[in-house]
């Protein structure tokens, strides 16, 4: 049985960045990912600039990635209100297909060991983890779980959120529309959800929406759904009328849950969406995933000195709560509003009439630059 110093389950942004952080500091990291890079994910692909100083510190230069700098935000409502606002910190647009693959190549060059396999379960006994994958078994001193929103491992851990059925689905595709501005991220409200539009590399436009499952089930397919529901927002109707889809079909995920989760499970450190997902309306999930990778890596580095697991788990939990609880709280309020169409319209009308309110909303769900 192979013995690992540090094992990370899941190679999305949280897992990859944590692997890079720990490997840069001289630790031996093994990352287990069930999919082969590159691959597309359901994600709005707008990343807050708050992550840039930290990525630079880790020696990750995004300069060659042809990302789009995004500094403007537009919100539209079902009754055709549209409001634009400057994004004070701003962000950038890059596909997860390209970004995750780039980080994977970077981590591999640093010496991170990648295993492409699915983890079936893990246990903790006598101060070490035993990790069972489809093809192999490993032991590890430290285990970081970065396996995303929902995984077979949540069932094994009997996590509370996993028992509840959730009502949200995420759907995404890339499009081309020459006149779409490079520096703009748009959020369009429709009945039972909202849709984000923003550019990524090679002038592709990411169109990603979150929708209530019951709303989706009323339609036979994506075309019908977009025709019957999304196009009722005239800005989206205009987009779908003129833009060309470049994916064979949309990709989708179901059972998207925003329930609170614990950031330590069976002594494993949980990061990224495994520890908690902010409502995509906030456009901050990727920055949170990267930031939580930093917090976990720092806690693991400390553990190498004092070898006190309880202390590591406690300090990680404290820093996670300190950094993210407020954002999740506001994300939760927006979620509540979005669950009730009348309230959604009222709130969006209110926000839609005030650039100041809109900026406050953005501020409360975003962090400061991470360094």
Ligand X SMILES: Cc1cc2nc3c(=O)[nH]c(=O)nc-3n(C[C@H](O)[C@H](O)[C@H](O)COP(=O)(O)OP(=O)(O)OC[C@H]3O[C@@H](n4cnc5c(N)ncnc54)[C@H](O)[C@@H]3O)c2cc1C
Q: Which residues bind ligand X (CB under 6 A)?
A: 9-15, 32-35, 41-47, 118-119, 146-149, 151-153, 170, 196, 208, 210, 256, 272-273, 277, 280, 283-287, 289
Closer residue to ligand X in complex, CB, 187/349: 187
Nearer to ligand X, 260 or 354 (CB): 260
**81 is written with which tokens?**
């209100």
CA distance 123 to 121: 7
Q: Are 28 and 267 in contact (CB under 8 A)?
A: no
The CB-of-43 to ligand X minimum distance in angstroms stands at: 4
Shortest CB 87 distance to ligand X, Å: 12
Nearer to ligand X, 279 or 303 (CB): 279
Nearer to ligand X, 9 or 361 (CB): 9
Considering the complex, state which of residue 189 and residue 356 has its C-beta at the smaller distance from ligand X.
Answer: 189
Q: How far is the CB of 326 from ligand X (least distance, A)?
A: 17
CA distance 36 to 13: 14
Least Cβ distance, residue 261 to ligand X (angstroms): 11
Residue at token pair 């997902």: 277
Start-to-end C-alpha separation, the chain: 38
DSSP letters for 284-349: -HHHHHHHHHHHHHHHHHHHHHH--HHHHHHHHHHHHHHHHHHHHHHHHHHHHHHHSHHHHHHHHH
Contact (Cβ atoms closer than 8 angstroms) between residue 222 and residue 249: yes
Least separation, in Å, of the C-beta of 142 and ligand X? 17
**Tokens 């430290």 identify what position?**
142
Task: List all residues 6 or more positions away from 300 whose beta carbon is below 8 Å from its beta carbon.
Answer: 6, 22, 27, 142, 144, 269, 312
Residue closer to ligand X by CB (options 47, 107) is 47
CB of 169 to ligand X, least distance (A): 8
């Amino acid at each position: 049985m192979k013995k690992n110093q540090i094992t990370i389950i899941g190679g999305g942004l949280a897992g990859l960045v944590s692997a890079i952080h720990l490997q840069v500091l001289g630790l031996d990291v093994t990352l287990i990912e069930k999919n082969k890079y590159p691959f597309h994910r359901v994600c709005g692909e707008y990343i807050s600039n708050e992550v840039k100083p930290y990525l630079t510190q880790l020696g990750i230069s995004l300069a060659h990635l042809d990302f789009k700098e995004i500094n403007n935000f537009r919100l539209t409502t079902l009754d055709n209100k549209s409001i634009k606002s400057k994004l004070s910190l701003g962000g950038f647009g890059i596909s997860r297909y390209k970004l995750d693959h780039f980080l994977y190549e970077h981590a591999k060059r640093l010496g991170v060991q990648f295993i492409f396999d699915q983890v079936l379960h893990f246990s903790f006994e006598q101060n070490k983890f035993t990790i069972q994958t489809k093809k192999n078994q490993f032991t590890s001193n430290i285990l970081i779980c970065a396996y995303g929103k929902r995984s077979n491992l949540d069932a094994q851990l009997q996590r509370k959120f996993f028992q509840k059925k959730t009502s949200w689905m995420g759907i995404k595709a890339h499009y081309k529309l020459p006149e779409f501005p490079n520096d703009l991220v748009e959020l369009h409200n429709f009945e039972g959800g909202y849709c984000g539009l923003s550019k990524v590399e090679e002038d592709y436009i990411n169109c990603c929406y979150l929708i209530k499952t019951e709303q989706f089930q009323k339609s036979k397919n994506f075309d019908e759904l977009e025709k019957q529901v999304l196009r009722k927002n005239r800005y989206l109707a205009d987009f779908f009328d003129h833009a060309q889809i470049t994916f064979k079909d949309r990709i989708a995920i179901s059972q998207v849950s925003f329930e609170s989760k614990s950031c330590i499970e069976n002594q494993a450190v949980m990061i990224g969406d495994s520890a908690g997902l902010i409502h995509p309306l906030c456009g901050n999930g990727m920055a949170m995933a990267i930031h939580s990778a930093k917090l976990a890596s720092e806690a693991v580095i400390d553990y190498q000195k004092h070898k006190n697991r309880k202390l590591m788990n406690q300090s990680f939990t404290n820093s996670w709560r300190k950094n993210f609880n407020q954002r999740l709280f506001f994300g939760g309020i927006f979620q509540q509003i979005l669950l009730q169409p009348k309230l959604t319209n009222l709130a969006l009308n209110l926000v839609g009439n005030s650039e100041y309110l809109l900026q406050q909303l953005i501020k409360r769900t975003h962090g400061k630059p991470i360094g």
